[in-house]
Amino acid sequence: MPYRYEDYEYSKKIIARRLDGFVPEVLITLGSGLGFMADEVEDHIYVPYDEIPNFKTCTAPDHKGRFVFGTLCGKKVAVMQGRLHCYEGYTMEEVTYPYRTLRLLGVQKLLLTNAAGCVNTSWHAGELMLISDHIRLATFGPLNGENIGEFGPRFCDMSYVYTPRLQELAEKKARALDIPLNKGVYMYFPGPNFETPAEVRAARVLGADAVGMSTVPEATVAAHAGMEILGITVLTNMAAGVLPKKLSGEEVNEAAMRASQNFSALVRACLAEM
């Protein structure tokens, strides 16, 4: 059953009661293996997803399934320590429900992170990628169905999903920190299986530099609602077929942790000026 605007409002009110006047400025979504950053939030308030009406719970490994509200790098933040995925059995509307709810709560900017497979053979696992654009060919998107005009127009422009100003900020901070930062296109696959070598070759032909199972639904809904978006990918492995080896979820989480120092430093530097 489609959600109504009143459903989002009700969820927002329940969260607001827990926050006692605290209003987050930036929403941060932490991908696989990157949940450690939520532990750095000061004056934190935990709100588990299963205590919020209409929210679904996380079933993906290493995703705790809760909001951490507080202060990080001088910004009032809401950190999603764990995201939802369609491969967990959820619809795109269910996966993106938190983003519309947090928009009503007052969030204006979104920092999306993920762990992804590297398609660009000039790059290496363990590096970071700034998302400049994305590709989605899978089924209907999260805006399918009756439009909720309070969030945005029926036909949403997608020319600048990832805010140019925030991309420039990330590149500036990466140079200052001497952190290598690739810039490229992320392609969405629904998962939970990793992509086949043939699918990775097709993604490369289409112009993708990385492939993953998240981010695009969330970015679409956030763009529709008028949020500024910065996307950062940790390239945790070379995508299927690039190297003569099999892929595993454990490899993704381990590689994300190895890249944690550069990732954390860049995210913190960007957040301070978002």
Q: Name the average pLDDT for the chain.
A: 91
Q: What is the Cα–Cα distance from 47 to 22, expressed in whole angstroms?
A: 13
CB-CB contact of 184 with 120 (8 Å): yes
- Domains plus CATH for the chain? 5-273 (3.40.50.1580)
Q: What is the pLDDT of residue 58?
A: 85
From 138, 150, 137, 83, select the one nearest 110 (Cα to Cα).
83
pLDDT at 203: 96
Amino acid 60: pLDDT? 72
What is the C-alpha separation between 255 and 224, in angstroms, rounded?
Answer: 33
Distances (CA, A) of 247 to 105, 136, 157, 196: 39, 22, 36, 10
Please state whether the peptide bond connecting residue 98 to the residue before it is cis, i.e. omega within 30 degrees of 0: no
pLDDT less than 50: residues of the chain: 241
What is the reported pLDDT for 191? 87
**Which pLDDT score, from 0 to 100, does residue 169 have?**
98
CA gap 151, 174 in Å, rounded: 33
User: Could you give the percent of the chain with pLDDT greater than 90?
Assistant: 77
pLDDT of residue 236: 85
Distance CA 155, CA 160 (A): 14
